[in-house]
């Protein structure tokens, strides 16, 4: 017996499952910049998305109020690639300070949080300062956590520079760091005041990181948008080439999906759990390999394959949907191999996942593409079977 939780949402006139507000604010290079509103318990904030959005930064930040100082938190790698572009776009005042830390997943820890907090203190940041996080998911998570607890909270703006951050991690107020015992076990819900999402900042992004972002886009399609899934099946080669028109549609569309979900459940007590499709498996893979084998999107890709297999094992996901999910994920390119870790070890890590309840594993599964639900009381033997068979099934199909 599998217990499940259902959530209803609304459809607009086009048939898309949605509850968002979009208004156009500027035309840059013949493509519209979109303003997408995200509901938050602390008040709504905007995601300004589109080519050239970084050039909107001065007026957008000015609309947030006056700040005693501006502090940019980034990584050496990101700042070398994009620092000059970001500084020109932000038109940073002379009294700003740049704070850099390593943005590898293995560095997403309490030591990095302390490093940032002490750097802010030495630079004279006070309660009226503004923090701007410039980087990918790790930078956003750690900088957001720092903003939430430095002087008990200072204002935050995100400038995401990876695809996964632009379509997923910069939206929704989650911040945090990892512990050796598991991923994201220490953190807070702390919404930014603004997110500036500019696909032009992706131009220096390595292909591997770009593909990681596409894994999160596939996740959104599986859980909420069957039409986008079909579009990805049709146009994946164009998307992989970073076709401008494709990104012009995909990035705002995924922001809209994330905004709808988190706007209805900021604290992850219900609907928001569907965003964790594949993540119970993914977090176990990352933790078991000490965050050194996979980039997050690669672990999510494996996790979605395993979640699709688990859904089929439980009689929830149809075989043709499983085939479509696996086939689309494999078109992203080769993944780092499944680790040689016993299923029992991965199960142990899963039980410490923040989504488990009293040691009971909970999984987000997709009964059909475009929908997802949380399922409790999933039989352990079914999970063990999936953990055992997933790498073998993928390896066998690759050799056909």
What single-letter DSSP state applies at residue 50?
S
Residue 34's alpha-carbon distances to 9, 24, 46, 195, in angstroms, are 23, 5, 10, 12
What is the distance between the alpha carbons of residues 128 and 66, in angstroms, rounded to a whole number?
A: 8
What whole-number distance in Å separates Cα of residue 161 and Cα of residue 170? 10
d(CA 252, CA 167): 8
Q: Say which of 60, 105, 209, 268 is annotated catalytic.
A: 268
**Known catalytic residue: 272?**
yes
In whole angstroms, what is the distance from residue 182 CA to residue 175 CA?
15
Report the alpha-carbon angle 309-311-312, nearest 5: 65
Tell me if residue 258 is catalytic. Answer: yes
Active site residue 99: no
Pick the catalytic residue: 108, 158, 211, 296?
296
CA separation for the pair 55, 51 (Å, rounded)? 9
Is residue 279 annotated as part of the catalytic site, yes or no? yes
- The number of residues making up the chain comes to 400
Please answer whether residues 242 and 269 qualify as being in contact, where contact means their C-beta atoms are separated by less than 8 angstroms: no
Whether residue 381 lies in the annotated active site: no
233-261 burial, b at 16+ Cβ within 10 Å, e below that, comes to: eebbeebbeeeeebbbebbbbbbbbbbbb
Does the active-site annotation cover 152? Answer: yes
Q: Which of 152, 181, 340, 381 is catalytic?
A: 152
Measuring CA to CA, how many Å separate 209 from each of 162, 163, 205, 213? 7, 8, 7, 7
Kindly name the residue from 211, 219, 272, 312 that is annotated as catalytic. 272
Catalytic residue among 60, 105, 209, 216, which?
216
- 42-52 core/surface letters (b: 16 or more CB in 10 A; e: else): eeebbbbbbbb
Burial class, 399, CB count within 10 angstroms (exposed 0-12 / middle 13-18 / buried 19+): exposed
Catalytic residue (choose from 34, 77, 108, 174)? 174
Whether 216 is catalytic:
yes
Of 388, 384, 277, 375, the residue nearest 325 (C-alpha): 277
Q: Is the dihedral of CA 227, 230, 236, 238 positive or negative?
A: negative
Active site residue 17: no
What phi and psi, each to the nearest 5 degrees, are found at residue 47? -105, 115
Catalytic residue, from 35, 77, 260, 283: name it.
283
Of 175, 221, 224, 171, the closest CA to residue 47 belongs to 171
Q: Considering 183, 219, 248, 258, which one is annotated as catalytic?
A: 258
Give the sheet arrangement for strand 373-376, strand by strand: 3-5, 373-376, 363-365
Distance CA 235, CA 242 (A): 11
What amino acid positions are annotated as catalytic residues?
152, 174, 216, 258, 268, 272, 276, 279, 283, 296
């Amino acid at each position: 017996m599998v217990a499940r939780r259902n959530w209803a949402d609304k459809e607009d006139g086009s048939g898309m499952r949605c509850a968002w507000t979009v208004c156009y604010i500027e035309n840059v290079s013949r493509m519209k910049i979109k303003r997408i509103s995200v509901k938050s318990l602390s008040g709504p904030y905007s995601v300004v998305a589109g080519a050239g959005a970084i050039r909107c930064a001065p007026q957008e930040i000015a609309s947030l109020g006056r700040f005693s100082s501006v502090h940019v938190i980034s990584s050496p790698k990101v700042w070398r690639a994009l620092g000059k572009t970001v500084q020109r776009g932000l038109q940073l005042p002379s009294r700003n300070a740049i704070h850099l830390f390593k943005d590898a997943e293995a560095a997403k820890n309490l030591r990095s949080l302390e490093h940032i907090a002490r750097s802010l203190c030495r630079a004279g940041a006070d309660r009226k300062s503004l923090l701007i996080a410039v980087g990918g998911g790790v930078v956003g998570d750690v900088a957001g956590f720092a903003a939430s607890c430095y002087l008990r909270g200072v204002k935050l703006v995100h400038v995401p520079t990876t695809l996964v951050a632009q379509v997923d991690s910069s939206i929704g107020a989650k911040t945090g760091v990892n512990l050796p015992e598991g991923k994201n076990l220490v953190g807070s819900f702390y919404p930014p005041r603004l997110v500036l999402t500019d696909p032009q900042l992706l131009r220096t992004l390595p292909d591997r990181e770009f593909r990681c972002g596409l894994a999160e886009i596939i996740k959104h399609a599986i859980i909420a948008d069957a039409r986008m899934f079909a579009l990805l099946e049709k146009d994946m080669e164009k998307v992989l080439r970073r076709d401008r028109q494709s990104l012009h549609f995909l990035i705002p569309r995924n922001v809209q999906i994330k905004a709808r979900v988190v706007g209805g459940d900021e604290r992850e007590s219900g609907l928001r759990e569907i965003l964790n499709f594949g993540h119970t498996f993914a977090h176990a893979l990352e933790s078991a390999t000490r965050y050194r084998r996979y980039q997050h999107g690669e672990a999510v890709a494996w996790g979605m394959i395993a979640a699709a297999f688990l859904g089929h094992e439980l009689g929830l996901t149809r075989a043709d949907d499983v085939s479509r999910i696996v086939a689309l994920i494999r078109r992203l390119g080769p993944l780092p191999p499944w680790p040689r870790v016993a299923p029992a070890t991965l199960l142990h890590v899963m039980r410490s996942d923040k989504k488990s309840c009293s040691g009971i594993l909970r999984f987000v599964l997709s009964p059909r593409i475009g929908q997802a639900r949380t399922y409790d009381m999933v039989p352990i033997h079914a999970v063990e079977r999936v953990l055992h068979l997933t790498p073998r099934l993928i390896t066998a199909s690759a050799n056909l």
